[in-house]
């Protein structure tokens, strides 16, 4: 029987000398599994390599070394390959990357023995239509954000769920979030905290220039439509997980809905969501003083 093949992805800014990465690779070998990585990381660490555009089909699990941003980009890269992802936190708060440096060996040992669970996370797909044509599309694990750019003025966005008009929001923009993304940008914008395994979309205005500001929760079976006012004179932008962006303009329509499949996260700490949430938020508050 072939050993489990574990793919390693790392944010080089978080591990410049690859000290943590090399430790992870040694633990993978120690517990009878095979480490692999994309080029050039594979060449630098002396392990089997692959091109990121051609992920091997026999990878069992992927490890993401970095912060939540690294985990998001890794998850999007592996989305179509159905490879579960486990995050090792080399960043700050790390809501998604739950394994801390001091617990790396125990986590990798758990992978070798099967002592872990997979949690499914909802994914969003989005597209931008301009004059009846699709000019941009992509997927997001955390959120799809439609917002004004830089020094541009207040943007007016009309929001619909399917064909039902919800409201118009003058302000900085609108966030359409998954439950996973409820602890990201949506949290900063005053949105609700939602257990990540749930299925729903959260619509949250960003700094709206109105007397009330509340999030809207909608069924994952629906499609959220955001329309930019026809008279808006400045450029705007759609961003996916804060990492992929596309410039949009007056009259564009942005469609957001649940993807046809989910992303699997590997969990080994056996902590409930609220334990993790409390530890991360309290830890961040302490570190920021």
Q: What is the DSSP string of 25-66?
A: HHHHHHTT-EEEEETTHHHHHTSEEE-TTS--TT--EEEEEE
Q: What is the DSSP string of 133-192?
A: EEEEEEEESSEEEEEE-TT---EEEEEEETTEEEEEEEESEEEEE-SGGGGTHHHHTTPP
Q: Which of 15, 68, 241, 252 is catalytic?
A: 68
Structure tokens at 4: 């489990």
Dist. CA 154–CA 73, nearest whole Å: 30
Structure tokens at 158: 């009309």
Active site residue 68: yes
Dist. CA 272–CA 117, nearest whole Å: 12
Task: List residues with catalytic annotation.
Answer: 68
């Amino acid at each position: 029987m072939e050993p489990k093949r574990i793919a390693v992805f790392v944010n080089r800014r978080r591990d410049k000398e690859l000290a943590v990465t090399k430790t992870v690779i040694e633990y993978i070998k120690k517990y009878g599994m095979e480490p692999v990585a994309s080029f050039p990381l594979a060449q630098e660490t002396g392990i089997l390599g692959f091109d990121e555009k051609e992920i091997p089909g026999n990878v069992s699990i992927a490890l993401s070394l970095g912060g939540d941003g690294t985990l998001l980009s890794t998850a999007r890269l592996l989305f179509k390959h159905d490879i579960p992802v486990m995050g090792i936190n080399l960043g700050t708060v790390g809501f998604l990357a739950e394994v801390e440096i001091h617990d790396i060996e125990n986590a990798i040992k758990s992978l070798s023995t099967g002592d872990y669970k997979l949690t499914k996370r909802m994914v969003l797909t989005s597209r931008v239509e301009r004059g009846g044509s699709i000019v941009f599309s992509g997927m997001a694990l955390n959120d799809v954000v439609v917002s004004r750019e830089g020094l541009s003025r207040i943007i007016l966005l009309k929001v619909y769920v399917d064909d039902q008009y919800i409201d118009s929001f003058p302000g900085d923009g609108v966030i359409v979030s998954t439950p996973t993304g409820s602890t990201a940008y949506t949290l900063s914008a005053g949105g609700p905290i939602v257990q990540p395994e749930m299925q729903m979309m959260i619509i949250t205005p960003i700094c709206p220039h109105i007397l009330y500001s509340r999030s809207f929760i909608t069924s994952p079976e629906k499609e959220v439509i955001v329309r930019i006012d026809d008279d808006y004179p400045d450029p705007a932008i759609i961003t996916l997980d804060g990492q992929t962006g596309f410039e949009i303009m007056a009259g564009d329509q942005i469609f957001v809905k649940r993807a046809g499949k989910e992303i699997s996260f590997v969990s080994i700490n056996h902590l409930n969501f609220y334990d993790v949430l409390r530890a991360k938020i309290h830890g961040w508050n302490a570190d920021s003083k």
